[in-house]
Chains A and B, each alone.
Chain A
Amino acid sequence: MAYSATAESHEHHDHKPSGLWRWLSTTNHKDIGTLYLIFAGVMFFVGGSMAMVIRLELFKPGMQFLDPAFFNSMTTVHALAMIFGAVMPAWVGLANWMIPLQVGAPDMALPRMNNFSFWLLPFAFTLLLIGFFVPGGAPAGGWTLYPPLVLQGGDSFPLAIFAIHLMGASSIMGAINVIVTIMNMRAPGMTLLRMPLFVWTWLITAYLLIAVMPVLAGAVTMLLTDHFFGTSFFSASGGGDPVMFQHVFWFFGHPEVYILILPAFGIVSEVIPTFSRKPLFGYEAMVYATASIAFLSFIVWAHHMFTVGMPLAGELFFMLSTMLIAIPTGVKVFNWSATMWKGSLTFEPPMLFCLAFLFLFSIGGFSGLMLAIAPADFQYQDTYFVVAHFHYVLVPGSIFTIIAAVYYWLPKWTGHMYDMTLAKWHFWLSTIFVNVLFFPQHFLGLAGMPRRIPDYATQFADWNMVSSIGGFGFGLSQLLFPYIVIKCIRGGEKAAARVWEGAHGLEWEVPSPAPYHTWETAPSLAVIHSGGEHWTED
């Protein structure tokens, strides 16, 4: 093992302050990665329990448990918690853990900023969640924060705005850290086109983050001054325009959905070659496809608002540019399939989750294409079809790949193998129930059921009940996940340095569990070349 000599000589580095102070003051990328992942897990269950409340209310037509305002708070805060609390911090956590390991760097480039960007998050979500206990209740105007509705919120309105400011600052700092680490800290010989795809997709994601999170910060600041300081950016009575908010918001919002999914593409591009025992098909095409998707994400935003009354030329432009995204995405799906072609496939839990991703994310992609067709969108706008679409791309898209990433690298983090049988149960239950949960929502949407309503006409009753049963099943089966992870942390079969026989990449050159400090001496060229992501068949 190329690593063992250096690991030996640096053992004395491994001591660190104990207890709470270690975690508050840590600047170690692995510690901060762990903190991010734990935080994301907690928020996943906070947001998930809100989803359970939503599905409980929608189990039957009629108002059963909640009052409508609280229901609206549930949908709003569920979205904010899942997007900004679960998925984004999970990706930053994985970036923290894996990017330095994968590019042969001893740590992130800006360790103190790293600590700061994590510790902003608990404060952000405290602000958001105490909204439930102030007059007027938690934000209920939808996560898209459209004025004038959002301006009519109670005392939680400024709390939510400040929470979004803090989340934005946190992810901007996280993104800067990722860019500086990748650009400056790569081991000599780790050229850009030798980097693993998870690193590449994160680099592009990080640029998206610093380009659009400040725009969201600006938009919510304008909401704040409209509400408290008499400006009228979005107030028609003062010459403003509420539609302008939608433009500014979705200029942020569309790149944001790629922020949530691009690192997922990176994970799939790591996992599928490993368990196909073949190099990734079309490595460079993957890099360029990712970059094209990122570029296109800036010029498609108004497809979220086809019905506001745009000029025909605008509708056509946004329709066609949106459909264009299917091309680089198709390249990716083709390359993943081609990677598996004639490979020696095995189906360990990370591979299973990535295969489910491949099928189910494509379903979400196809419904996205349907929504991109402007004349059809007039029918689908604000129905459950939209809900089904974005949950198909976010749950089997982002969430499944985060789970796959954890199952892929967990032995590297803990030094133990996890319970494969339970993890396979986790996979099958998740995959079956996620379809029971979201597939019927396509039917509901096409039949005309609007989103964000606590009660509905009786013709929607059957599929809503099916969807709710799927929801409870999916929610309960996720409880297996922390159980499997905690069990694995506590012990288990000892994991080898190269956990999966087909795995390539620098992270497999360090022992399992990865020592507190790694790559203090940069890996040699030989190690980099043999462990390169897209090693050649020779």
Chain B
Amino acid sequence: MKNAEVNGPAASEPAALRRSNRSLTGKLWFFVAGSFAFGFALVPLYRVLCSVTGFGDQKLLTEAVAAPISAANAAEGANAPTAAGIDQSRTVTVEFMANLPTVGNWEFQPVQKTLQVHPGQLYEADFIAHNLTGHDTVAQAVPNIAPGEAASWFHKTQCFCFSPQSFKRDEQRVLPVRFFIDRALPAYVDRVTLSYTFYDVAAGVAAR
């Protein structure tokens, strides 16, 4: 069906026009490939932006802090007893939230809903998780902190969110998190919410 008549003018184009059409088309396809790659490049870019601003940065939210006294406190309280690192004059309300992505196959809640804390002091809060999926499984808690600005000053020394948790069928367990709030927490923040979403990741773990 290669009919010059049907193809019409395209077939009678001068060779120069064809060459320049081909070259521009090639460049435009290259541009398209670049745009496609840019879509994927947004993923690491987004992570970088998150770690710069602290908003929803999973690395920051799940990182363990070794010592309960931060660098800021250490510099100031180097020749004072450890308790001097605690700011008794200030009280911050910490709220605990537990979320589940689906309903019906887990129970997951904080033991206490709120805690009044002094910056610089180490605290422990407990969450209770109950596996109702009817089989042995693995779950992973993903933390979040609101307001986002507070995330950089909310330090966890121990957390069940650091690694996937194995649960036997019908097992119920208390999951502790140990944390302290940095004394450098901006003064306007008087309330911090720590939330966990508890994902069943058995399928993902098996795939890995």
Give chain A's interface residues, CB within 8 Å of chain B: 13, 15-17, 21, 25-28, 106-107, 109-111, 148, 172, 176, 179-180, 183-185, 210-219, 222, 230, 232-233, 236-239, 241, 243-244, 247-248, 251-252, 309-311, 516-517, 520
Residues of B within 8 A of A212 (CB): 35
Residues of A within 8 A of B8 (CB): 13, 27-28, 106-107, 111, 516-517
Interface residues of B, count at CB 8 A: 45
B25 engages A230 (CB within 8 Å): no
Which residue of A is nearest B50, CB measured?
A: A241
Residues of B within 8 A of A214 (CB): 32-33, 35-36, 38-39
Q: Nearest Cβ distance between residue A212 and chain B, in whole angstroms?
A: 7
Q: A27-B7, A27-B8, A184-B17 are in contact. Are A237 and B39 (CB under 8 A)?
A: no
Residues of B within 8 A of A216 (CB): 39
Which residue of B is nearest A16, CB measured?
A: B6
Instruction: For A210, give its contact among B31, B58, B140, B146 (CB under 8 Å).
Output: B31
Residues of A within 8 A of B208 (CB): 230
Interface residues of B in 77-130 (CB under 8 A from A): 101
Instruction: For A241, give its contact among B7, B46, B146 (CB under 8 Å).
Output: B46
Residues of B within 8 A of A309 (CB): 55-56, 146, 148
Q: A183-B24, A210-B28, A237-B199 are in contact. Are A27 and B10 (CB under 8 A)?
A: yes
Which residue of B is nearest A230, CB measured?
A: B207
Of B5, B32, B46, B200, the most chain A CB neighbours within 10 A belong to: B32
Which residue of B is nearest A105, CB measured?
A: B9
| Bound-state Cα–Cα, A219 to B43, Å | 10
Which residue of A is nearest B141, CB measured?
A: A237
B35 engages A237 (CB within 8 Å): no
Does B158 sit at the interface, judged by CB under 8 A?
A: no
| Bound-state Cα–Cα, A233 to B43, Å | 8
| Bound-state Cα–Cα, A211 to B28, Å | 10
Q: A27-B8, A176-B28 are in contact. Are A211 and B42 (CB under 8 A)?
A: no
| Bound-state Cα–Cα, A211 to B10, Å | 27
Interface residues of B in 1-30 (CB under 8 A from A): 1, 3, 5-10, 12, 17, 20-21, 24-25, 28-29
Q: Nearest Cβ distance between residue A184 and chain B, in whole angstroms?
A: 5
| Bound-state Cα–Cα, A238 to B199, Å | 9
A184 engages B20 (CB within 8 Å): yes
A sample of 7 more A-B contacts (CB under 8 A), given A184-B17, A241-B56, is A25-B1, A107-B8, A210-B28, A217-B36, A222-B43, A232-B204, A237-B101
Does B197 sit at the interface, judged by CB under 8 A?
A: yes
Q: A180-B21, A236-B197, A239-B58 are in contact. Are A215 and B204 (CB under 8 A)?
A: no
Instruction: For B35, give its contact among A25, A109, A211 (CB under 8 Å).
Output: A211
> Chain B interface secondary structure, helix, strand, loop or mixed?
helix
B39 engages A219 (CB within 8 Å): yes
Which residue of A is nearest B21, CB measured?
A: A109
Q: A25-B1, A217-B39 are in contact. Are A237 and B140 (CB under 8 A)?
A: yes
Q: Nearest Cβ distance between residue A188 and chain B, in whole angstroms?
A: 12
B5 engages A236 (CB within 8 Å): no
Instruction: For B42, give its contact among A15, A16, A17, A251 (CB under 8 Å).
Output: A251
Which 10 pairs between the two chains have the least Cβ-Cβ distance? A218-B39, A237-B199, A106-B9, A214-B35, A214-B36, A215-B39, A230-B207, A176-B28, A236-B142, A111-B10
Question: Digit string of B161-193 for contact with A (CB within 8 Å is 1, else 0)?
Answer: 000000000000000000000000000000000
Residues of A within 8 A of B55 (CB): 309-311
Could you name 8 residue pairs across A and B whose Cβ atoms are closer than 8 Å?
A: A180-B28, A212-B35, A214-B32, A215-B39, A216-B39, A222-B43, A237-B197, A237-B204
Interface residues of B in 39-60 (CB under 8 A from A): 39-40, 42-43, 46, 50, 53, 55-56, 58
Residues of B within 8 A of A210 (CB): 28, 31-32, 35
B197 engages A517 (CB within 8 Å): no
| Bound-state Cα–Cα, A243 to B43, Å | 11
Instruction: For B40, give its contact among A211, A218, A237 (CB under 8 Å).
Output: A218
Which residue of B is nearest A24, CB measured?
A: B1
Q: Nearest Cβ distance between residue A530 and chain B, in whole angstroms?
A: 24
Does B201 sit at the interface, judged by CB under 8 A?
A: yes
| Bound-state Cα–Cα, A16 to B4, Å | 11
| Bound-state Cα–Cα, A146 to B35, Å | 21
Residues of B within 8 A of A172 (CB): 32
Instruction: For A27, give its contact among B6, B24, B35 (CB under 8 Å).
Output: B6
| Bound-state Cα–Cα, A1 to B5, Å | 26
| Bound-state Cα–Cα, A148 to B33, Å | 27
A244 engages B20 (CB within 8 Å): no
Which residue of A is nearest B56, CB measured?
A: A241
B36 engages A215 (CB within 8 Å): yes
Which residue of B is nearest A238, CB measured?
A: B204
| Bound-state Cα–Cα, A127 to B42, Å | 28
| Bound-state Cα–Cα, A514 to B184, Å | 76
A111 engages B7 (CB within 8 Å): yes
B5 engages A13 (CB within 8 Å): yes
Residues of B within 8 A of A236 (CB): 142, 197, 199
Which residue of A is nearest B6, CB measured?
A: A16
| Bound-state Cα–Cα, A531 to B32, Å | 35
Instruction: For B46, give its contact among A21, A148, A244, A311 (CB under 8 Å).
Output: A244
| Bound-state Cα–Cα, A111 to B10, Å | 7
Q: Nearest Cβ distance between residue B22 and chain A, in whole angstroms?
A: 9
A218 engages B36 (CB within 8 Å): yes
B25 engages A176 (CB within 8 Å): yes
Q: Nearest Cβ distance between residue A416 and chain B, in whole angstroms?
A: 25
Residues of A within 8 A of B12 (CB): 520
Residues of A within 8 A of B39 (CB): 214-219, 248, 251-252
Residues of B within 8 A of A26 (CB): 6
Residues of B within 8 A of A215 (CB): 35-36, 38-39, 42
